[in-house]
Structure 1
Amino acid sequence: MKNPKQIDSMGKLPGIREIEISKLEKSPLNARKTVSEAACDEMKASILTHGLLQNLVVTEGKKGKYLVIAGARRLEALKALQAEGHLPEDFAVPCRVELEEQAYEKSLAENVVRLAMHPADQFEAFAKLIELGQTAEQVATRFGITPRLVEQRMTLARVAPELIAAYRAEELTLDALMAFAVTDDHQKQISVYESLNDWQLKRPGEIRSILTEQLVEAEDKLVKFVGMNTYLDAGGTKRTDLFGEEVYLENPELLNALVSEKLKLAEKELQAEGWGWVQVDQEHDWRVTSGCSRLEAEPVDAPEELMAELKRLEEEQLAVGEQIDATEDEEELDRLNKRNDELDGLLDDLANQIAAYAKFDPEQMKLAGCYAYISHSGTFTVERGLVKREAKKALAKAAATHLDDDQPAEQPKGMPESLKRDLAAYRLGAAQVAIATNPAIAYDLLVFKVAKNALTMQGPSDGPNVSFSREFALYTGKDARDFLKAQIEPAAEDLPRGWLEAGTEADQFLAFQLLSDYQKQSLLAYCVAMTLQPKLDEGNQPTAYDVALAQTGVNVADHWRPTKDNFLSRVTKDHLLEVGRELIGGERGETWAAKNANEKKGDIASELQKAFSDPDRYGGTPEQIDRVKNWLPKGMAFMAAPEPKPAKAKKGKKAA
C-alpha cells in the first residue's frame, strides 16, 4: 500500500514522465556532490552502448524546470553526450517525479542503500563477455575503461576458483589475488597457497616470488646476452605481469640452450685468435684470474671518438656515483641506480670495442690465454693476455716480457652517511630478533633502564626507550625498513593476543592476568625489542645495550647478507677491493685485489654478491667460505659477550 503522504494535492501518485534533458538541472538537495571525470566517462560509454538503464528521480522546479535529486552522474553524462552531438537537443529521458519534502532523504537512500558489485563478480562478468566473442578493446569502449583494465580483470577471472572463493570469503586480499595471477597454473597456485602461513599471504611480493622462481625475468643478464627477439624467434614464450612491470620468460631451458650455443661460438672465435688456452663461463669466476699476470699489448690505436666516449661515460658514472651517495629520495635513488647499471653496460661494450684494437705478440699468446664471461649487464666480456703461474717462467725465458702486476689498492674511503644509517637499521633488525627471543635478557635490560632512570635520574644513552614508543627508523632507505618489518614479523605472529579482544580495558587486564609467566615475558621481550634504537658499534666504551646484545649469542650475519642493492653498489671500488682482499686473505687476497683494480665497479660488486649469496659454491677454501659466511661491514657485528666482574666488597668501618 502506498504511503498517503506520497499523493500530491490533486490526489495522483507521482509517476514516470519523459522529460527533455534541457529541462533538467541538478538539485541542491542531491546528496551526491562530487562526480569524477572518469566516472562520467564510464557512464557516457554505458549510455551510448546500453541506453539509460535507470530513470532519474526529480522534483518540480520553477519555470518548467525539473531538479534531479537522484542521478547526478547520469545527468552529467547525458548533457555531455548532447553537447558532443550524440543526442538531439529535444532528447527526453524517463524521470520519476517526487515531492520536494522527501527529496533529500530519497537522494541519500539511492546513493547509500545500494550494494556495489563485488570485484570478483565484476571480473568474472568481463571474462564472460570475452567468451561471448567481444574483444578487450570492445569491452573497454562499451564500459568507458581502458583495455589494460579489462585484461587485468580477465586475468583475475582465470585464477583458480578456490582462490577466488577465498577472496570472496575475505581470506585473501585483492593484492594477494593479483600476485597469484602471475601464472595460469591452477595446481601451482593452490599448492603455493596451501604452503604459505597467514602472514606470508599478506605479502604479495613473496607470493609472486615463489610462483616465478622457475621463470626468468626479462631483465636477467642471460636474456640481455641472447636477446629477447632471438629467444622468441626460437619458439620461446613470455608472460607479462599485468599488475606490475615485470616480464617473465616461460622457457628457461630454451634460454639456457641459446646461451650455451652462443658461448660455444664465441669460444671458437677466441681460440682462432691463437691463445694458448681459452675458458668461457656464464658467471665470472674470480678464481680463474686471481693468480694470473697479464701480458702488455702493443699500444692501442683506437679511434679518437671511442676514447673520447670512454672518458665521457667514466666521468658521468663518477658523477652518478656521487649523486647516489648524496641523495635520500627513493625515487631519485632508483633512477640513479638504473642509470648506473646502463652506464656499466655501455662501458662494457666500449671496452670490448677498444680491446679489439690491442695487439699481442703471437709467440707470447701461445703461452697465455683469455677468459670470457657474461657480465651482470649481459655483455660478453673478454679478458685477454692472462698468464698463469706455471707459464710465467717459460714466458720470461722466451722473451723479456713485462707482466703487469698491479699495485695493491689504497685503503677505501669512508662509507656515505646514508649507507651507515641503513647498516644501522639492518643491525637493528638482528638486534630486535635477539632481544625478542631472549625474554630474560630483555627483562634485565628493561629493569636496568627503569631502575637507573628512577634512582639516578640519568638513564643509559641507548637501548630501549622506556616509554615504549616504537622505533620506525624513518630516515633509512625503504629496503632497510622492509628488512626490519620482515625480521620481526615471525616473532609478532606467535604473541598471545586473545586478551586484547576482551571488551573494556578492565576486561582486557583481567584476561591478561590469566596468561602464563612465559607468555607475559614473551610480550615484554617483543615490546622491549620494538623500542630498540639503530646504532653501529663505533668502538666506544660498551654500554648495557651492547652487553645485552652480546649475551643473546645472535650472529648478525645469520639475518643480513651484503647484496649490490643494500651495500656493494653503495661503496667505492676501492672499498670493494678491500672486502675481496679480506675475504680471500693473505697473498692470494692481495693478488686478487691487484688483478681486479682495473675492473669495473659493477663487475666486482657482482662477483662479490655471487660469493655472498652462495659461499659453499663460490667461497673458495673452507677458511675463506667461513669468512664469507660471517663477514659484516665494520660496526654491524655484536661484541663478544664479556664475563661479569664480581662486585667489590665494602670496607668495614674502623672501630672507634
Structure 2
Amino acid sequence: MYGATEAHVYRRLALANPPNPVIDALRNGEISLSNAAAFSISDDEKLTLEILENVRGQGESDHRIKKMLKPDAVKDSDRRAVFVGLDAYRAAGGRTGSDLFAEEVLIDDPAILDALFGKKLEDAAATLQAEGWKWAEAIGDSYIGWYQIEEMKLSRIYAEGGTLSNDQSEDYDTLSEQAEQDVLNDEGHAQLAALQAILDGSFTEDQKAHAGVLVYIDTHGAVQVEAGLVKGTDKKAAIDAGVLEKSNHVGSTGTKSPISQKLAMDLGRIATGARQDAILGDPDLLLALFAFQLSGKSGYTSAFGLRKDDVPNVPSTAMSGYTLDERLTKPTPSAKYGSDMARVFRAYKAKGPEFIMDEIIRHLASLLTVDTDLAEVIDKAVETNIRDNFTPNAENFFGRVGGPYLIQQWRDLLDLKKDHPTVTTFAKLKKSEKADKMAVLFGDGEAQETQGLTEAQIARIAAWVPEGMA
C-alpha cells in the first residue's frame, strides 16, 4: 500500500482515528490495507459505517470508497485550488479534509471554490483590461485552441517583435540548451525569460485600443493569456487604423490565413471525401436526399453535383495520409466508342437489383456536394469524422504552411507556455524539421507513447483538424 509497511499503515490509521469497526474489518480480512487507508478521509462516522457495511468482503476499489465517502471532494492539486490557494479558500469558510496516505488535502466545499475561482479569474481579466486593452474576457476552460478562437469569430493581430543582438543571441541559445537539459538555475531562467520577452515583443497602444484578450487558467493552475484578438464588430475600425490587415481569404478570421488557396482547396476536397465516405453507411439518407433534390423542394440548394462530371474528393498530394472507401475511388469503365448501347444496358441491368442499388449508392455518394445548411444535418446523422480518413502529415499539410503557424499549433496541442524550452527549441528548427516533428505527433500510438505524450495531449491531437474543416 503506497510502498509502506503494514505497521506504517496502522500508525497512520491511528492518526486518522477511524471508527473501531474499520480496524476490526481490516484485522478480519474483510477490507484491504488500502481500503482502510481510503476510509481515513472521512470524519463522518455514520457515513463511514454505512459505507463499510456496503464494501465488506466485496473487494471494492479505494477510489470508489473515497467517492462514496466524499463524492464532491476536490483535490488540492486541482487547477482551481492551485489558482485560488488553500488559505483564501479556508478564509472564505471552505472546509478541508486530508488523505494521510496520498499526502493530499481534499476540498469539501467545491461551490465555495468555484465562486472564488470565478471571482479571481474575473479580477485577472479586469487587471489586463486596465493595461489598455479594449476588452478582456475570462474563460473557464483550461485550454484555448485555434478552433475556439474561430468559433468566436476573432481575428488575431501580433505583437511587434524585437531583435536580439549577436551577444544576446548567443546567450539565448546557451540558456535554451541548458533549460532543455534541465540544468538551468533560477538566475538563468530569469535571463532566458527576459530574452524571450524581447523576441516576443509587445503590443502597441494602438493595437490594444482595437483588440482584447482571453484569460484562462491552465491545467497547472497558472494564468494564461491569448492576446491581440479583434472582435468582428471591431474589425473594420482595426483595418482602418492599420492594426489589422484585410484578408482576401474567404471565411478567414485571421490577419492573414496560414492556409494557401491551393491548400484550402485540397482541404475542402478532403472534407467532401470524408462526408461522402460516411454517408455510404446510410443508403436511405442518400436516397432521401436524391429524391429531395429531384423533387425541386430543395430550391437552389443542391445535395449532388448532378450538373458536373464529378465532385473532386482527392487532394493534389496523391492521397498521402488520406484514405477513402474504394467505392469512392475506383473508376467506372466507359463504354467503347461505337458500342451497341442497348446490348450494354441489357448486360448492365442483368447483373440484378442488388448490383444496381450498390451502383446507385456508390455514385450518389461520390456526387455528394452539399451546401453548408445541409452539411450540418448530414454530418450529425452519419457522424462524419474527418480524422477517420485524414491524418495530417508533412506532405499533405505541415510542409505547406508557415513556421509561425506550426509553432502555434505545437504549443496548443501540447498545452505549453510560449517560453517553455520545448517550444523555444521547436521554434529554432528549420521549417522542414518543424513539419516532420509535427507529423510525428500525429503518428501511431507507439510513436506517441515513445514521446511520453499525456492522455490529454493525445486526445487533442486525435481530434485536431486544420482550420475551416471542422
Please, what TM-score do these two structures have when normalized by structure 1?
0.34
Question: Greater relative contact order: 1 or 2 (C-alpha under 8 angstroms, separation 6 or more)?
Answer: 2
Please, what TM-score do these two structures have when normalized by structure 2?
0.45
Q: Choose 1 or 2 for highest CA Rg.
A: 1
